[in-house]
Amino acid sequence: MLLNPSSSSVARLALAVVTEPERATPAPVGAREEAMRLLLSTGADAGVGIVATRPEADTERLLGQAWPFPSPFRVTVRTVPLSEGIDRVEARARRSLERLGLPRGDAVLVSSAHDLAGADGRALWDRLRALKDRGLFKRIGFCATMEDGPTLLARRFQPDIVQMPCNLLDQRPVSEGVISDLAGMGVDVHISSIFARGLLFAAREHLPDHLAEHGAALSRTRRRLAEARVDPMQAALAFALGLPPVSAAIASVASAAELRAILAAAHAPRPDLDWEALALTEPAACSLSRSVRVPASRAA
């Protein structure tokens, strides 16, 4: 697997700000807003260009009150589930821009490929394309997993962006040529779950039951990294930022301190590793996993 040795900078690093209680330290409202401003200014100073958001919790409002001025960020928003109705999907996308304090966004992404695969998929896509035509979003796209068949969906809908999980443990989007195929269609590929939902950092005893059988394989991967004297975060970022077809690698962050740790790892010398040997033999387990509870500084 060829990695681009010139892409170790943060130019393609994107941020997904996390405010869940298990990641973010509880604080009064004013302190939360100040913490958000510090996080965003840290990212802006480092050259991070993309912030990826979701329509949940209070994150959009906090971001809207904390942007540096002028803001250097391109912002992507995600839709609510189609089960809430097409009108609700459109209204909530507009509401996301209002909460973010933005006249327009860089992209709106269908949050689940299942919504496009259903009977109302084309109608949903037409609604989002209308938002693009009105200038509210520059681009439209969707989020998918390998199991969703993102290449076929891209051929059908011709999105500007496809976001999908890809990481050191689950390299299928690379090894099966999906990322290259999408890039060949002119699609910008954003990869998420670059830290494998915390699996890279989780102790074996903290794995959920359905992943217990993969504990030995995870231990082998961490042992290989330890023998090479490479920190798991450094390896994960080197892998994600070193994939030439990928235009953005999304890291979830809960604080400026977490972001500084990620930035330091991203700027570390690129390790010389056998990347394919680090993947799980059954990588689909990663995509089925919910985030594993690990120390906050390691959960990004």
The closest alpha carbon to 289, from 188, 238, 218, belongs to 218
* Unique residue bearing structure tokens 């972001």: 259
3-state SS assignment for residue 223:
helix
Give domain 13-291's CATH superfamily.
Answer: NADP-dependent oxidoreductase domain (3.20.20.100)
The two structure tokens encoding residue 138: 């520059």
Averaged over successive runs of 10 residues, the pLDDT of the chain (300 residues) comes to 50 88 60 93 95 92 93 96 97 97 97 95 98 98 97 98 96 96 98 90 71 78 92 94 94 95 93 92 64 45
Cβ-Cβ contacts under 8 Å for 238 (sequence gap 6 or more)? 3, 8, 268, 270, 271, 273
Other CB atoms within 10 Å distance of the CB of residue 74: 16
- CA distances to 14, 203, 247 from 295, rounded to whole Å, are 21, 10, 29
The span from the CA of 193 to the CA of 166, in Å, is: 6
**What does the domain layout of the chain look like in residue ranges?**
13-291
Q: What is the pLDDT of residues 34-43, one digit of tens each?
A: 999 999 999 9
Model confidence pLDDT, tens digit, residues 42-83: 999 999 999 999 998 889 999 999 999 888 999 999 999 999
